[in-house]
Amino acid sequence: MPYPRGHRDRMRKRIVESARRLFNRRGFEGVSIDEIMAGAKLTRGAFYSYFRSKSDLYTEVLGCFFTDPEWKSRWKGVKVDLRSENAGPQIVRAYLSRQHFDDVANSCPMVALPSDVARTDAKVKSAFEAVFRAMVAILEREVLDRRKAEARAMSIAALCVGGMVVARAMNDGGFGDRLRRAATRTALELGGW
């Protein structure tokens, strides 16, 4: 008996979601295909009917709300409307929010995975770059100073990603919170918001 329509897409999505949570928590090398498939409630053998390798899966996991129209608001109470006229400040506030900070499993992969990406192949680096460029493009259209829009958008994106990475690396939670707030203020100022 054949599977119902859409089954393959749903199973692929389950694998990606399981991998995203695990990669965000433990990195690329710290996660096995067996663990990914167990998290998706599928067998290891099924993995290769969806992906050629763990690197191919990793490349797909790098998608986020900047590149994936299916991405849901993952951080409770945080909404971002990329079509709105004030998407830039929404992105900054969401990205550096306490909700994003606390929800490691559903982090934007640019926060959880940059050191892994730096050690991987060109295909994975290209996927990471595509997400970062998408973030920059959205921010760039919102920056008020049009003469410096690209440079400011790149700086804002770097502040958001780097601010969250560094805040999560702090042992002193209060210091990490102040760092996120400072990065938020500076990013908003750069955008003219």
What pLDDT does 120 receive? 78
pLDDT mean over 68-85? 74
Look at phi and psi of residue 77 and say left if phi exceeds 0, alpha if psi is from -120 to 50, else beta.
Answer: left
CATH 1.10.357.10 domain extents, the chain: 87-191
Give 69's pLDDT tier (boundaries 50, 70, 90).
low
pLDDT at 73 over 60: no
- pLDDT reading at 134 higher than 60: yes
Q: How far apart are CA 166 and CA 129, in angstroms?
A: 20
pLDDT, average across residues 126-132: 88
Return the CATH architecture of domain 7-61: Orthogonal Bundle (1.10)
| Torsion sign (Cα): 167, 55, 156, 73 | negative
Per-residue confidence (pLDDT) for residue 70, from 0 to 100: 63
CB atoms within 10 A of CB 122: 8
CATH 1.10.10.60-classified regions of the chain: 7-61
- Please report the pLDDT score of residue 6 as a whole number: 79
DSSP per-residue string spanning 62-118: T--TTT-TT----STT----TTSTTHHHHHHHHHTSHHHHH-GGG--HHHHSHHHHH
Residue 28 CB neighbours (<10 A): 20
How far is Cα 57 from Cα 111, in angstroms, rounded to an integer?
18
> Residue 145 pLDDT > 60, yes or no?
yes
Mean of pLDDT over the chain = 88
The helix, strand and coil proportions of the chain, stated in percent and rounded to the nearest 5, come to: 65, 0, 35
So what's the pLDDT on residue 101?
92
Q: What per-residue confidence (pLDDT) applies to 1?
A: 67
Assess whether pLDDT exceeds 90 at residue 180: yes
pLDDT band of 4, cuts 50, 70, 90: confident
pLDDT at residue number 35: 96
What CATH superfamily is the domain 87-191? Tetracycline Repressor, domain 2 (1.10.357.10)
